[in-house]
Amino acid sequence: MGLSIAQPQTLLNKPAPSFLLQSINDTLVSFSQFKGKIILIDFFATWCVPCRAAIHYIKSILPKITTKNFVVVSIDIGESKDKVISFVNSNGMTWIVLLDITGSVSNTYMVKSIPTFFIVDQNGVIRYVHVGATKSFFDNIPN
């Protein structure tokens, strides 16, 4: 009998799990608010060095996707709002940033390492999962 560890890739081609999280602006944000849009979900933490590289890559694709029905949502795992706000401000993150303080959403998405990215289509189905911050992943997003 082998040990089975759930991986985020098992969510491919399945409906993305819904969530309701607090934003850094104190509003509650529901997954359903993004219905009809393509979503890049980025699970990160302020202490994560590869996550910082991912911020640079996200910034580089923003001009290419602004006219599309596309939204970027970064979800911080397990850190305080004040710490995340400071990080967001110092790194110029201008997109939606949510707080998964208990880690429940990252667990539902089976995130085992960060950064982990999900691309969700307009119908709410996960179409791509990527672990790590690689330039080639971001170069292909506008397509």
Instruction: Name the pLDDT band for 8 (thresholds 50, 70, 90).
Output: confident
Classify residue 37: in a domain, yes or no: yes
141 — pLDDT class (breaks 50, 70, 90): confident
Specify if 71 maps to a domain: yes
The answer as to whether 123 is a domain residue is yes
- Number of domain units in the chain: 1
pTM exceeds 0.85 for this model:
yes
User: Is residue 16 in some structural domain?
Assistant: yes
Nearest residue to 97 via CA among 36, 37, 143, 55: 55
Q: Are 95 and 25 in contact (CB under 8 A)?
A: no
Residue 67: predicted pLDDT: 66
In a domain, 5, yes or no: no
Which pLDDT tens digit goes with each residue over 54-77? 999 999 988 888 767 899 999 999
Residue 6 in any domain: the answer is no
Find the CATH number of the domain harbouring 28. Answer: 3.40.30.10
> Is there a domain that residue 100 lies in?
yes
* 115 domain residue, yes or no: yes
Encode pLDDT of 92-109 as tens digits: 999 999 999 999 999 999
pLDDT at position 4 over 60: no
DSSP states along 86-135? HHHHHHT--SEEEEETTSHHHHHTT--SSSEEEEE-TTSBEEEEEES--H
Q: Domain containing 44: what range?
A: 11-139
Tokens read off for 96 = 């939606």
